[in-house]
Chain A
């Protein structure tokens, strides 16, 4: 059972032709698919408008970049050139709309490129509130979401009413619940739930209907419970910084095989951006905006108004996950991750958490150096803890 679900997810992850999306479109005549970039968009709105939400994460290490390099200089991260490659090769032609959330200047400017390259596709840059006052923030974001929903309704031909949007919110609340269960299980028994498998499931969630993901994730959790494995003497680590451009699967495997249990991470962060369920009462758009503003998540793509909280972020994450150290794994040229890293690392080290840092690209092909670095780190954590006892 476990392997069947993992292979289902792996096939989706490896399929750069988005066959699952095409199948869904064929099975649902008249329906449309809409793409979104990292880190977070409220997929409930896409779902309620009748779209299949499709996460666009680039081609990883499985895509040769030919056209994409003509759009981006070497000192810009790998993700946008990979996404352009997917688009220019026709692999994203099935998308009727693409949403670009406020993640960084690169994704922001990519929204403009998309407008120019694909004038028939609905393109929207979704700004997010960055102010400390919750009421001002919610009012702003609510207006943004209403604007997007109105536009998307025109594209899909269906503007949802409140009841329909609440139905979508309820489904995504269930998705959040099951993702929380996956993370909790890994935190408690990382030997039973490898991050490689968790990651593949999260990636599958980006391209299949949400209810299909929920069914598969529940099957997987059941399989994990019935397929207990033996704990190893690994070190428990938080992997921070990989919230936008995703690391190649080989990098995640390398960290695990080097003797680390990843007990918290930022991978495919959009699935966990809202830390609590969205309210099913009142106005649904307001509820979505409020859930965003009230999220407990601390991420580099948002302003942290509380300097003390900033210093505590890694300590809190490590404590919650029972982690012994932090691996800062950031994509090369990633402004949010790399600008944040000195502050986060300072806070972590002040709390006595050992840290290492490295950079990757989604198409990194050599993992030996990461494996050696992570292995040495895992060993040092053991020695550190042995010395502390």
Chain B
């Protein structure tokens, strides 16, 4: 039987080429004397790193790609054999396992050792220990950039000053030492200008989820869309070109009244509009996505696609205030927001994107996201009146993806939305008691 052809957007092909080139360049970095800086997606300082001529490597991206390529299970087993607990972040273990297995990246090319570990400590405790662990593996310098948490729901002025001071007195000198190049503020400004251009186009794409039908999938599709801007390509001409092309592509689909490209083609007939909270399960990404598209459910907005920046609420990198804007950016990343702010964001998405419901994918090994999600479920239901579903899986640990269980839960959930719709026509409502919904989930 002939295998069914998988449709791909032009932007996906473009991105694949960009990433392949980046990994090839990384492989050649030692030979070409290009410095390499490892950092994390939330609070990444890509413009600054690039201004020193260095190439960024993002361990979470490597881990999630290893998950998608079915490599993570073996890497995790390798790390657990070396003494890492089954209870902790699967990204960390996947990364450690990959390093111990020869450090061959997800694209099949060897990853270079870091010249510097730039630990941007933004919204995730695990980051701190992750880079302590990598420092053990690589025996290389590390610099810590502490981004205070928005405990009271806002960036406090003294926290902003603290970050700027660290950038000036710690991070920039560490980059100068690691790369052998002097800080060039004009270069940084130029990179930030390019970032803002790409961010404008990304936001236009994200907000197209408000249309009916939505021309994008705001979760499964959008994790691809945010790939370049969350990783190595913010502040680059390539990034600007990618987002311009993506916006044109999405606008063309919208103009034609088409939905997004999903695993089985174009999802034009959209029965359910959803908001999703939490990261996806990368090891079963396609199966997971299909559980939604089989029910004609499209995700119109998500929180995970904001871990690398909350641009859709107005933030843009500002070249006129190069260090201040980096502080603002880092502080605003999704996991650095407190629980009330997260609840407000999800509620706002539900209202503004006219969602029928929201799904929380709770990740076993990610406390930054998962601790408090049952509270989020209750509060969002209370504020919006739409029902929530609660499912559980893991980032890249295939042992914790229970396909039948998740599918059953989602099917029950869609039935609940359906009966709620029918009920609302007669004035009746389906109880949205939080515990009832949690039980359904």
Contacts and interface: CB of A to CB of B under 8 A. Distances in A.
Contact of B339 (A109, A127, A335): A109
A333 B85 CA distance: 9
A76 B165 contact: no
B375 A133 contact: no
Contacts of B136: 307, 310, 343, 346
Interface in B93-150: 119, 121, 124-126, 128-130, 132-133, 135-136, 139, 142, 144, 146, 148-149
B379 A116 contact: yes
A24 B100 CA distance: 57
Contacts of B342: 112
Interface in A320-367: 330, 332-336, 338-343, 345-346, 359
Interface string B296-328: 000000000000000000000000000000000
A163 interface: no
A103 to B, nearest CB: 8
A125 B125 contact: no
Contacts of B89: 335, 339
Interface residues of A, number: 55
B373 interface: yes
Contacts of A303: 119, 121, 128, 132, 144
Nearest to B83: A342
B65 interface: no
Given A70-B374, A139-B162, A339 B133 contact: yes
B118 to A, nearest CB: 13
A342 to B, nearest CB: 4
B207 interface: no
Given A73-B374, A75-B364, A125-B338, A343 B125 contact: no
A81 to B, nearest CB: 10
B166 interface: yes
A337 to B, nearest CB: 9
A332 B87 contact: yes
B87 A115 contact: no
Contacts of A338: 85, 87-88
Contacts of B158: 140, 143, 147
B28 interface: no
A130 B127 CA distance: 12
A133 B174 CA distance: 13
Interface string B145-171: 010110110001011001001100110
A359 B362 CA distance: 23
Nearest to B86: A338
Given A131-B144, A305-B144, A343 B133 contact: yes
A247 interface: no
Contact of A127 (B126, B149, B166, B365): B149
Contacts of B438: 70
B365 A136 contact: no
Contact of A333 (B87, B132, B149, B375): B87
24 contacts: A70-B438, A71-B375, A73-B370, A100-B151, A105-B124, A105-B125, A108-B151, A109-B368, A109-B371, A112-B340, A112-B375, A113-B339, A133-B169, A136-B166, A143-B162, A305-B142, A307-B135, A307-B139, A310-B136, A332-B87, A335-B129, A339-B85, A340-B132, A342-B83
The 6 nearest A-B residue pairs measured at CB: A112-B339, A125-B151, A339-B129, A109-B372, A338-B85, A105-B367
Interface of A: 70-73, 75-76, 80, 100, 102, 104-106, 108-113, 115-116, 124-127, 129-133, 136, 139-140, 143, 147, 300, 303-305, 307, 310, 330, 332-336, 338-343, 345-346, 359
Given A105-B124, A147-B158, 16 more contacts: A71-B375, A72-B371, A73-B362, A109-B368, A112-B372, A113-B372, A127-B148, A130-B144, A132-B170, A136-B170, A140-B158, A310-B136, A333-B367, A334-B87, A339-B88, A346-B136
